[in-house]
């Protein structure tokens, strides 16, 4: 089983890049979703790019 990764990067005023890999457990998912929430603060009508 590969190590889980969930990363979130704001790449523009209304764009996020989300990268997921591995087997996500509850803790990794919680941390990733919290990071997503933090990064999208102030966004309206944004775009989401998910990278595998």
| DSSP code for 23 | -
Residue ranges of E strands in 1-52: 5-12, 15-21, 47-51
Number of structural domains found in the chain: 1
C-beta separation of 28 from 36 below 8 A: no
pTM: 0.71
Check whether 50 has a pLDDT greater than 70: no
The model's pLDDT over 15-47, given as tens digits with 9 standing for 90+, comes to 888 888 888 899 989 998 999 899 888 888 877
pLDDT of res. 43: 86
Containing domain of residue 40, as a range?
5-51
């Amino acid at each position: 089983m590969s190590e889980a990764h969930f990363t979130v990067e704001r790449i523009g005023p209304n764009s996020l890049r989300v990268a997921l890999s591995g087997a996500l457990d509850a803790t990794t998912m919680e941390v990733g979703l919290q990071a997503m929430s933090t990064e999208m603060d102030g966004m309206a009508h944004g775009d989401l790019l998910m990278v595998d």
